[in-house]
Chains A and B, each alone.
Chain A
Amino acid sequence: KQEVTQIPAALSVPEGENLVLNCSFTDSAIYNLQWFRQDPGKGLTSLLLIQSSQREQTSGRLNASLDKSSGRSTLYIAASQPGDSATYLCAVSPYTDKLIFGTGTRLQVFP
């Protein structure tokens, strides 16, 4: 059974730091891996989707990498800002139409 783990569970950093959030999964048979952002009490916003044939995707200050063979993905946030404060979720899409989520990393960036 596919399991998705995110480390750390929570992170608090000063503004301007570069951050790495980690996601690991147990079964490499996936179509893709997605990173989402969730603000408190809100729904999920898709940040990046990395297809299984890709190694990384970039959007602005965000860069996500995927190493399917080792079951790992990282989300790199450059020059963090207080507006980046949110929970970040990774999810894998196995060979079905469903997503399997990690439990998230709660990020706080303070001025």
Chain B
Amino acid sequence: DVKVTQSSRYLVKRTGEKVFLECVQDMDHENMFWYRQDPGLGLRLIYFSYDVKMKEKGDIPEGYSVSREKKERFSLILESASTNQTSMYLCASSLSGHPNYGYTFGSGTRLTVV
């Protein structure tokens, strides 16, 4: 069964900490995405990667960076966590050039910044 795995289901971090959220997929997909989900705002794209070491800003990249050193792994980095980054974070992957193959999502990481 194909999977997107997010390493943590729940995280609690302190303001100012550097936070790493990890996502791994086993489908050999080129595209990987990080979304955050907040009540009333829906899912918003933070960053998108279409190949190793390639990245593109989404709608809300401020306060975040990403790393993609290997095809299967896409990391979201909060350089200095703030309380307004408390949210549900969702990782997804898809096959490049084949939008009708759909997306696969991970189970999410609930991050709380205190």
B25 part of interface (Cβ distance < 8 Å) = no
Q: Which residues of A5-39 have CB atoms within 8 Å of chain B's CB atoms?
A: 31-32, 34, 36
Q: Which residues of A29-70 have CB atoms within 8 Å of chain B's CB atoms?
A: 31-32, 34, 36, 41-46, 49, 51
Across-interface contacts of B90 in A (CB, < 8 A): 43-44
Supposing A43-B90, A97-B94 touch, asked if A102 and B42 sit within 8 A by C-beta, the answer is yes
Interface size on A, residues (CB 8 A): 22
- The answer to whether A46 and B100 have CB atoms under 8 Å apart is no
Partner of B42, one of A34, A45, A101: A101
Interface size on B, residues (CB 8 A): 28
- The answer to whether B100 and A101 have CB atoms under 8 Å apart is no
Partner of A42, one of B40, B103, B108: B108
Cβ contacts B33-67/A at 8 Å (1 or 0 each): 10000001111010010100000001000000000
Supposing A97-B48, A102-B42 touch, asked if A31 and B103 sit within 8 A by C-beta, the answer is no
- The answer to whether B105 and A93 have CB atoms under 8 Å apart is no
